[in-house]
Amino acid sequence: MRDDAAESPRPAPTRGRGRPKAWTDKSDQNTIKSLDRAMAVFEHLSTTPGATLSQLAADTEQAPATVYRILTTLEARGLVEFDAAAQLWHVGPRAFLIGARFLRRTSVVDRARPILRRLMEATGETANLGIARETHVLFVSQVESHASIRAFFPPGTLSPMHASGIGKALLAQMTDDRLSRYIATAPLDRFTARTLTDPGDLRADLQETRARGFALDDEEKTEGMRCVAAPVFDWNGEAVAGLSVSGPVGRVSARDLPRFAEAVARAAADLSAALGAERRA
């Protein structure tokens, strides 16, 4: 039998739309230096409650005139705004809109919202959703407690994993090799007297976390605040996020930890199931 397909010339492989042939090349020739400098200013500004032109220039090691041109360009796009009275630059409203589009791309955020609300109502404390971003937890959603004194992690907040309930819940699910790489590269900074800065102490805490099924931030990031967290799994069984409740130690007391842990673990299991994960025993 004749195989016409074998005799026909093969079509040339096509390149994915939206990227050049050498799309993996990250050399200087494929980097826009001016854009890179602008992003350095924008990213630094996003970490501050507001900064003067001279502060931004000094912090990013760029000339004030260059930083001013960057800021006015970003201002025209709504990405930054200027407070004339205080002479301070701030991140603008369009930055939030762009960030919100990223969150909409992540289905876990949409699926978590009703679960976070139920968790807040069940515990009376602020419920949080976070995902890993390198050595930090990125908080992507929150339902605040109605109490006057409460934890507050607005979407976009970053917190070091070793001093975060969600961070430790995710670290506890890492393989030994991945955890070793994290400990070797992450700065285990101290925030309170309770922060785990010794690698051995952190490993022991993570082992205990795995055994009991929930993580605990016991005033390790902020004095007077306690957080109980559990990991969220996807249909592949991979830990892709974490849920937590946070509040003052007077309300999230050591005596009530089992109640908080049960509520958080149930909420994390519900979200995992919504993402296609099998229920765990």
DSSP letter string, 192-244: STT---SHHHHHHHHHHHHHHT-EEEESSSSTTEEEEEEEEE-TTS-EEEEEE
What topology does CATH give the domain 106-274? Beta-Lactamase (3.30.450)
pLDDT along the chain (281 residues), means of 10: 41 50 54 90 90 95 95 95 95 84 71 95 95 92 80 80 96 95 94 96 96 94 95 91 94 92 96 83 59
Q: Residue 170: name the closest of 139, 193, 194 by CA.
A: 139
The tens digit of pLDDT for each residue in 167-217 reads 999 999 999 999 999 999 999 999 999 999 999 999 999 999 999 999 999
Beta bridge pairs of residue 245: 127, 228
Domain boundaries, the chain: 30-96, 106-274
Give the integer Cα–Cα distance in Å for 275 and 269: 10
CA distances (Å), origin 266, targets 107, 143, 144, 229, 231: 19, 17, 19, 11, 11
Give the integer Cα–Cα distance in Å for 103 and 173: 23
3-state secondary structure of 83: strand
Residue 105: predicted pLDDT: 58
Q: Kindly tell me the burial class for residue 96, based on how many C-beta atoms sit within 10 Å of its own C-beta (0-12, 13-18, 19 or more).
A: middle
258 Cβ contact list (under 8 Å, min separation 6):
none
Residue 165: predicted pLDDT: 96
Give the architecture (CATH level 2) of 30-96: Orthogonal Bundle (1.10)
φ, ψ at 132 (rounded to 5°): -80, 135
Residue 6: predicted pLDDT: 40
